[in-house]
Structure 1
Amino acid sequence: MTTTTEPSEFLFSYGTLQLEPVQIATFGRRLSGRLDRLPGYITGLLEITDAQVLATSGKTHHPMLVSTGRPQDGVDGTVFAVTPAELAHADAYEVADYRRDRVRLASGTLAWAYLDARQPASGPDI
């Protein structure tokens, strides 16, 4: 089995994964990314009770993507190129209320994003 150290995945962040201290704690490095937008979503707030996530982010509530299906809605964020191992680290950081799913950003980029786990998975039109 081969592992890659080159970024080969895109991760869209609209919340705490954009914060440098969270990136250092989660990925061991500061990520560089570019601004993008996720159409058809808004954000709500999720109360965080996981002690480690609270300590890392310093925030009691994190934003949560909620699908509206309305193209006029959208959430601004940053898309980062990450390695598969870093994506696994992001999975470990996020609490069970989030589900990682593929989304299509306004730029056309297919990226992973953390959505409300209570909503059904839809995936982008590819």
Structure 2
Amino acid sequence: METDSPNQIAVFSYGTLQDPEVQKELYNRVLEGQPDRLSGYILERINLLDSSFNYIAYPIAKPTGNPQDSVEGVVFYLSEHELKFTDTYESEAYERVLIKLDSGIEAIVYQTPIR
């Protein structure tokens, strides 16, 4: 994976991980990122229960295979430790995959599970 510093992992965010409040809660810091695009994907909505047992709609990337489809987002660089928090936050509703973004950066993306 390409990174901006050693031992950092590129993660492509198209949703709530871009929120500074979410970042502070998960990582105790605000992340700096760079805009990027993921071709061959669309955004859908997924309803998940929050801690108060209310359903909330969240975005989820779905591969289409159509290069004209794309999702805009931001690439962040995380440590292995921070990536574990991200895996927990994204939950089993998302599948973690490694994909090449339009910029050429290989990044982790949380997408619709392919079963």
> Do they fold alike, i.e. is TM over 0.5?
yes
Relative distance call for 1:10 and 1:113 in structure 2 (3 A) is same
Structure 2 distance, partners of 1:48, 1:25, is 19
1:112 corresponds to 2:115? no
Q: Aligned residue for 1:82? A: 78
Q: Aligned residue for 2:92? A: 96
Which aligned runs of 4 or more in structure 1 are off by greater than 6 angstroms? none
RMSD of Structure 2 on Structure 1 (CA): 1.7
Extract unaligned runs of 5+ from structure 1: 1-5, 121-126
- Give the 3-state SS of the residue equivalent to 1:51 in structure 2: coil
TM value normalised by structure 2: 0.88
When you count strand as a share of all residues, which structure comes out higher? 2
Extract unaligned runs of 5+ from structure 2: 1-5
Task: Summarize the alignment of residues 1-126 of structure 1 with structure 2, pairs less than 5 Å apart.
Answer: 8-51=8-51, 60-117=56-113, 119-120=114-115
TM value normalised by structure 1: 0.81
Q: Partner amino acid for 1:36?
A: D
Deviations 1:19-78 (A, max 9, x none): 0111011111100000000000000000111317x7xxxx81110011100011100000
Q: Partner amino acid for 2:9?
A: E
Q: Sequence identity, in percent?
A: 38
How many residue pairs were aligned?
109
